[in-house]
Structure formats: C-alpha cells, structure tokens
Amino acid sequence: MSKKVTVYTRNNCAYCVQVKRYLDIKKQDYDVINLDENPSEEASVVAKSGARTVPIVMITNEKGDELIASIGWNPGALSSALAA
Amino acid sequence: MQQDDKLHDVVMIGAGPSALCAAVYTTREDIDTVLVEKAVVGGLAAITDWVDNYPGFSKGISGMELATELQAQAERFGADIRYGEVLSIRDIGQEKVVETSEGPLRAKTILVATGSNYRKLEIPGEEKYYGRGVHYCATCDGAFYRDKKLAVIGGGNSAVQEALFLTRFASHIDLLVRSKLRASEVLQCEIDKAISEGKITVHLETVLSEIIASNNKSVDKVVGTKAGEAFELDVDGVFVFIGLLPNTGFLKDSDVELDEIGMIKTNIRLETSIPGVFASGDVRSGATAQIASAVGEGATAALSIREYLEQQGREQPVV
C-alpha cells in the first residue's frame, strides 16, 4: 500500500489553495475533501486532528496508519511529513 | 525552488497585491521578475472574506477571488512566483543577494512587499491552542463554529468586519475591545444592527490575560479584566484581529532603514536607504493599509525599478 495524502479544505480558504499548489509543485498526488461540500466529514476530522481549522493534511502510510501531516499552512511540517 | 544562478532584473519579496501589481508592470516590459512568497499568494487580502472598497467591482469581490485574478494577471505576462521564506538580503553594489530557505537568488533590484501579519495577543493559551480554538482567519475557520459561542478580539475595522461575518455561523459573538470601537461609521452602523438583533455583545475596556482549555484540548474560556474588574467568559473559540505587524524581521541585519515600528522608510520613488532596493504596500512606512493603495504603490515601485535598471544599464555583465 503506497502513501495516501488527503487535504481537508473549505471554500474561500486561501491557505487551502496554497497547500494544494505546494503538493502540485512537489508532484504529490492527493485527494481533497471539501468540508463545505461534505459537512458529514467535519466531526471525524475534528476528532482525528483536534483542530477546528483548514487546511489539514492527513497521510495514510504504508502500514495503514493515518497521521496528521500539517495543520494550517505549514510547509516545513508538510515537507517533513511527505519525506518521512 | 531549484538552484538558480541567474542574475534577475528584480526579485520581489512577497506576492501580495502590491508585488503582484508591480509584477504586471515589470513583466509586461520584459523585466525578468521573480516573486518569493512564504505564505499565501495574495497576502492578507486573500484571506479577507469580502472586499467592498476595491475599485472596479461594483458588487464587491471575495478576497480570494481578487487574489486569484491578480496572480493570473501577473503570471499571464511571465511573473515567476516561487515559494520559500526570505531569510536576509545582502547588497554587494550593483548586485543584490536574496537569501531564501530554498537557496540564494541574485538580483539587480529588490522590491520588498512583504506586507504585514496579524498581531498576536501574546498571552498564555494563544499559541498552544492555535487551530484548536484560537484563530486568525474567519473565512477559513468560521464554519467550524456553527451554533457555537465565539469571542472576537479587537475594536478596529478588521475585528468588526470579521465579527459580522462570523454571525453567519455562531450562535452569539462577544466582541472584546481593549478601549473603544474604532471601526468606520459604515461598520459601526452594521454592528449596531447586529447588537440590536442580539447577535453580538460588545465589551469595552476589556483586556484578556489567558485563553483556557479546561480539558487541555479545545478552548472553553477566556479570562481577563473589564473596566479593571475580573472578567471571564465561556466560549467555544476565539478569533483575534488586533492589528498588524510589518514583516520586516529578515531585514534586521541589513542597511534598510526602518521606522520606530519596523516599517520600511522610502523616498518619493519608493526606494529604500539602499539604492536599488524598493518597498511598497503595507510594509512601507506611511502606508495606508488599503488594497487599492498597495496596488498603486506596486505600480509606482515598478516604474521606479524600470528607471533604475535603465540608469544602471539593463545588460550588466554577469559576475
């Protein structure tokens, strides 16, 4: 199982756009879950991350563990998580 | 960013409205232009819910849409926008070096258009609970607080505008103001309406001392003083809008002259104390902190850069 990246976003979130651009530049595939369009996902991501903010990037690693890569626009944390 | 040894005509630090406008002007004249942005293209404008006072948009425009259009316009003419944090600049005569987290960039001229960032309260709990009850972006995070109680901190235009925006989601908003409201008359009228509808309560002379999360996970209380008396309020989240600080920390070891609050001093051509280094927008001493004026300054800076390059001779030998 390869690494899977999921970006949680909302409409009108400039930092979310930035995270997606960053992943595009890094040529990293990712899924997007827009919480405005998928409100049923909100409780789950808040429970998993403890955060009430977007963007949140989660990585599911080769073992199937779901890890928080970054909360907000944090290229340092995101870069480290992608490299791990 | 990959290693880049090219001597660029101009490196712009920041990619907010001021730099993007400057880039439209420079790239249209084939001036080789690189922009370096550490956060969001479009700057604070991009994370502003709605912009009603930018000319040309009779119905207003969302901050993100405006930023996207500015970026597309700059890129249409060849602006090269890169991501990275600028650590310092060095002036070695006709050539400047911009040290970034992704490596150095060489430039004949520099435009500093780093804008400003939200000022922090700097009280216990603020940093610890960032994203878990402490926020600085209402458009990003407001929707997490549907039917919740919020405190908005600040008494200026941003605080009032964002508090009004957050009434779309929150069950109630307490606006905590250090002294008195300083918002524009238009916004004061709007907030008066929200107060009369029971959506917002304003607390004047209120100073916070701590943001508390009893379960150590998510914020549930703020404490401080109101008119000198102890004050506490149960809330689900706190949004902070208490003003701006210029992003000039990377200039501390340079010869760029700053004013007493850290903003960059320029002459009438928007040139700093270092020849060939220009500044525009919210980071410039005397700036009015308006998107329209930041854009205008970007155009002025671009014309000054063109003039400087013409004086220096566009074809400097690459050292």
pLDDT range class, residue B319, cuts 50, 70, 90: very low
Cis omega (within 30 of 0) for bond into A55: yes
> Is it true that domain B134-240 has CATH number 3.30.70.1150?
no
| Percentage of chain B lying above the pLDDT 70 cut | 97
Q: Span A25-33, mean pLDDT?
A: 93
ipTM of this complex prediction, to 2 decimal places: 0.82
CATH domain B7-117+244-312 topology: FAD/NAD(P)-binding domain (3.50.50)
pLDDT range class, residue A63, cuts 50, 70, 90: confident
What's residue A2's pLDDT? Answer: 73
What's residue B19's pLDDT? Answer: 98
- Closest residue in A to B47 (Cα) is A14
Whether B316 has a pLDDT exceeding 60, the answer reads: no
- Closest residue in A to B132 (Cα) is A51
The sign of the CA dihedral A50, A10, B66, B193 is: negative
The residue to which tokens 């905590």 are assigned: B176
CATH number of the domain within which A66 lies: 3.40.30.10
The answer to whether the CB atoms of A18 and B144 lie below 8 A apart is: no
Range of the domain at A58: 4-83
* Closest of B49, B239, B64, B223 to residue B159, by C-alpha: B239
- Closest residue in B to A41 (Cα) is B144
Coil, strand or helix: which one is A20? helix
Coil, strand or helix: which one is B27? helix
Best residue in A9, A12, A25, A35 for a mutation probing chain B (most B CBs within 10 Å) = A12
Q: Give the burial string for B213-246 (b: 16+ CB within 10 Å, else e).
A: beeeebbbbbbbebeeeebebebbbbbbbbebeb
Q: Span B240-260, mean pLDDT?
A: 95
Minimum mean pLDDT range among A18-27, B234-243, B265-274: A18-27
The answer to whether the CB atoms of B218 and A50 lie below 8 A apart is: yes
Count of domains observed in chain A: 1
Q: Span B157-162, mean pLDDT?
A: 94
What is the model's pTM? 0.79
* Residues from chain B contacting residue A21 (CB–CB below 8 Å): 41, 83
* Residue B135: how many other CB atoms lie within 10 Å: 27
Which DSSP state fits B284? B
Residues of A at the B interface, defined by Cβ within 8 angstroms: 10, 12-18, 21-22, 25, 35-36, 42, 46, 50-54, 71-73, 75
Whether B247 has a pLDDT exceeding 70, the answer reads: yes
